[in-house]
Amino acid sequence: MRKSRNVTGGTECIQRWGGEDAMTVSIDWKALRSNAIAASKHAYAPYSEVPVGAAALADDGRVVTGCNVENVSYGLGLCAECAVVCALISGGGGRMVALAVVDATGGALMPCGRCRQLLLGHGGPELLIDHAGAPRRLADLLPEAFGPADLERVRREKP
């Protein structure tokens, strides 16, 4: 498993994983939000006119960003969180530790249902999501989620 490095100037310190992999990661929510706001300026949202930006802190300290990209065939539009996941993987991989998503007001926008599932695959249940109140764990936003353990179980129990 990748090791995280400390990110200084943060407003929140969290302990990631247990045992010898335990690391303390500092999350600078203000910086994440401003990265998300900057990304939202690149949004391609001519159909909904709702620009969205997202920024994630990866477990190696990288900050990856993305914006929504819509399409004339409405259902093909990509959420900002999809772009963040692509940036994470194409920029070297790793896991997300914290994510901020903003709308045009600069306020926190909660990830849609599809994106919650997508984020689970690249941040896990402990991924922290920015919120107007306190940050939320993805596990609380997507309870009883379908995950890799379900695939394993079905494969194991298949007659």
Q: Known catalytic residues?
A: 81
Q: How far is the CB of 3 from ligand THU (least distance, A)?
A: 30
Q: Which is nearer to ligand THU, 7 or 52 (CB)?
A: 52
- HEC secondary structure over the chain: CCCCCCCCCCCEEEEECCHHHCEEEEECHHHHHHHHHHHHCCCECCCCCCCCEEEEEECCCCEEEEECECCCCHHHCECHHHHHHHHHHHCCCCCEEEEEEECCCCCECCCCHHHHHHHHHHHCCCCEECCCCCCEEHHHHCCCCCCHHHHHHHHHHCC
Q: How far is the CB of 129 from ligand THU (least distance, A)?
A: 10
Interacting residue ranges for ligand THU, rule: CB under 6 A: 45, 48, 50, 52, 68, 70, 77, 79-81, 101, 111-112, 115
Q: How far is the CB of 150 from ligand THU (least distance, A)?
A: 23
Q: How far is the CB of 156 from ligand THU (least distance, A)?
A: 34
Q: Which is nearer to ligand THU, 137 or 153 (CB)?
A: 137
Q: Which is nearer to ligand THU, 86 or 112 (CB)?
A: 112
Say if residues 11 and 33 touch (Cβ distance below 8 Å).
no
Q: Which is nearer to ligand THU, 43 or 57 (CB)?
A: 43
